[in-house]
Amino acid sequence: MTQSPIPIPDDPHSNAGNSSPSDFHSSVETSPAIIPLSEPPASDGGHSPSSTSTRPSFQHRNSLDLQRSVSTAGRGGCWTCRLRRKKCDEQREEGDSCRTCRRLQLNCLGWGPRRPDWMRDKEAVQTYKMEIKAHLLRLGLIRGQPRTSLSAASSTPQNGSSLVSTTNSAAAINRARSERGSFQFSFDDPQPQQQQQQQQLEFSFPQHSRAVAIGLTGAADGGGPPSLPPENFSNVPGAGDNFQWAMQPTGLTDQDAAVKREHLAYYFNHVRGLHFLFTCKVALDAIQAVVTREPMNAGALTDAMCAIASRQYAKAQRRASLPDTNLNVEDTQSQLFFNQGAFLLDAARRQGRCTQAEAMAAIHLISYSLAERGGVIAGANARVGGTDWTPFLELACDWLAQTGMHVDENPRLFIMNLPLPAAYSAKVTMCMDIFMGVTLQQPPRLLALYRRLLTATGTPNHIWGGSSGGPAPEWELYVPLLVGCTEQVLLAFAEIAALAHWKAHEARDGKLSARELIMRGNVIERAIRQTTLDPMAFEGSRVVQVNEDTCRRILATILQESALLYLNMVLSGNNPGVPEIQSSLNHILNLLKHMPLGKLDLGLALPLAFAGFMADTPTARDTIHKRLRHVGSVCGSANIRQIEGVMLEVWARRDSGQREVEWREVMQERGLTLLMI
């Protein structure tokens, strides 16, 4: 099915324009719709992961062993209604269900004499509530939101009843936690405003007739705010590509497939370019190859992409100052997509399998989590200093190790022979692993592999080939196109992180040798300067030609100088007055003047952060702060806002008289683990 570019859906509560609510009532093909998608796939054994759960699966309610008796029915209603804090009619229908649950097509938990054990797990309870809420949104049972043609088009199951099903069992999640290492996949609790919305559900529609799976769903409520013309997104990288996704994902209903098609089209047309790692043509080809050619393996990836698209759609509404009646619903939808993708990856990890599609899905879920919550240390991984995205990076690194690349005699030849999606996922995982090492001041997990893989590959002209001109071979995934710097500079960041870790360890033991520290630093500096990036694009204040290749050269030079700045911060401490630090900072500021604002600014997160931490004059601080805020306005990422917050705190402490301010300590005091990419 050929689709046009996806405008923002229209809001029945908006008075903008001359359209009435009914005009947008069934606008399914023009927006990221909010309808349910199919349940997560069963395990290899043919059973759902929740089939052995202590928390009730809607499909397996007979295993609850809850005795529903008339004698206990008058103590506050059934457990389903009590959990939802709604009045129960306490009238038992056929099948041991109260009339309220039967009318709402919910599986009644009955009137057991005591609370089921699984309800003691707050996370399981909140997940259960979100599933119920998603089901009710799907049926259009939200006050003020009309039932749509999508709901009306539901088919009728046998016996005239419809029961919600789910596989997101608390026991399956808890079991997975015990089988992993330190980090846990987390499924966020609803925000307070979402919980309040849960309390305001009003049930006034007759029983619907379609059994739906609730892994991630909302309601197609008749649309959102008035449609924005395509030119409103003309300044977004990737807009205008008019990507069309006509593939029918295996295992989805027609309605579910339509929803995913619309979200994916919205992602490729308006959202893809909002994370630097996804902006280049190589990334587009790799992602498209998985989504269109391997639909059976792309479930988690499409969920992750849909989560990003749904989130950005809601942000586009805010930027356009459109009525925000349904913004909470849209935010819930993006989080539900995220939860579904996380659940599928969690299931894959428990089963000991991880494919290139799942590694790519993990990368996208990291991108969503960085944009939504940044580096906040919270949830299940807080006790080990982890974030919501930490387990996804662990999974991607696990997959990279499982490829056997690190034990191959020639890892460069190995990666050249990988399919395009696998090669792309491998290099993006390397970049994230290395920059994570910079943040944590520890060697990257696969440093030994990177030392063998990230070596000189030719002249600068060879490196830039294919960035905007002729196509490069499918395996030829040059690092500059993904992260902005040369392979030598990327490896240097990894080596400097390892050096910082060694220095801290030696200093704690009281045996740090300044001579050896400088010697090791000199080796890294020579490697950084091995490739001279000809700054022919600028001479004094004159720019010869500002095109994409020129901007990429400037960006690569900025990152090269940032590596030198980082190295001198490790060698000499965080002291802005050190001559080598001042030299690198001034060079970065000069380069920024010659790099016009554009999509490549998304690759400036780390250079701006390090330069900002060392900036000590009002002019330098103002230049860096404005550029960082521009990056944040383009991508709308919580991660960038948190980098800005750490930078401002560093300045405040230095201005108050503190001599050496360690940015990493400030970050940790603010409860953050930033990934500056």
**DSSP-derived secondary structure for 62-104:** GGG-----GGGTTSSS-HHHHHHT------EETTTEEHHHHHT
Tokens of 75: 């103590």
Binned average pLDDT, 10 residues per bin, the chain of 677 residues: 38 37 32 39 39 38 36 62 83 77 81 78 76 68 42 34 34 36 45 37 27 30 31 34 40 64 86 80 87 72 91 77 49 83 88 87 93 81 69 93 90 89 92 94 93 64 41 50 86 96 96 96 93 54 62 91 97 94 96 89 94 96 95 89 96 91 94 90
Question: What pLDDT is recorded for position 252?
Answer: 53
* DSSP code for 296: G
Rg of the chain over Cα atoms, rounded to whole angstroms, equals 27
Tokens of 258: 């339509």
Tokens of 311: 């989130």
* DSSP code for 41: P
Question: What pLDDT is recorded for position 395?
Answer: 93
What letters, b where the CB count within 10 A reaches 16 and e where it falls short, cover 141-177? bbeebbbbebbeebeeeeeebbbbbbbbbbbbbbebe
Tokens of 496: 């400097």
How far is Cα 120 from Cα 243, in angstroms, rounded to an integer? Answer: 46
CB neighbours of 500 closer than 8 A, spacing ≥ 6? 441, 570
Please give the backbone phi and psi of residue 332, each rounded to the nearest 5 degrees, phi first.
Answer: -60, -40
How far is Cα 204 from Cα 219, in angstroms, rounded to an integer? Answer: 15
Question: What pLDDT is recorded for position 512?
Answer: 95
How far is Cα 235 from Cα 240, in angstroms, rounded to an integer? Answer: 10
How far is Cα 239 from Cα 318, in angstroms, rounded to an integer? Answer: 18
Element (H, E) at 668: helix 663-669
Tokens of 396: 């991607």
Tokens of 397: 């690194």
**Cβ(256)–Cβ(57) under 8 Å?**
no
Question: What pLDDT is recorded for position 258?
Answer: 78
Half-sphere exposure of 380 (CA within 13 A, CB side): 23
Question: What pLDDT is recorded for position 168?
Answer: 37
Tokens of 125: 């309870």
How far is Cα 616 from Cα 653, in angstroms, rounded to an integer? Answer: 12
CB neighbours of 241 closer than 8 A, spacing ≥ 6? 268, 269, 272, 284
How far is Cα 9 from Cα 336, in angstroms, rounded to an integer? Answer: 19
DSSP H helical ranges for 229-298? 254-266, 281-293
Question: What pLDDT is recorded for position 491?
Answer: 94
Question: How far apart, in Å, are the Cα atoms of 406 and each of 73, 85, 483?
Answer: 62, 54, 21
How far is Cα 361 from Cα 347, in angstroms, rounded to an integer? Answer: 13
CB neighbours of 182 closer than 8 A, spacing ≥ 6? 381, 384, 386
Question: What pLDDT is recorded for position 47?
Answer: 40
Please give the backbone phi and psi of residue 383, each rounded to the nearest 5 degrees, phi first.
Answer: -65, -20
Half-sphere exposure of 154 (CA within 13 A, CB side): 24
Question: How far apart, in Å, are the Cα atoms of 381 and each of 157, 192, 344, 377, 673?
Answer: 42, 21, 19, 7, 12
DSSP 439-452: HHTS--TTHHHHHH
- Indicate the domain borders of the chain: 438-669
* DSSP code for 92: E
DSSP-derived 3-state class of residue 662:
coil
**Residue 538, strand partner residues:** 543
| CA-closest candidate to residue 301, choices 214, 387, 409, 424 | 424
Secondary structure E strands in 103-224: none
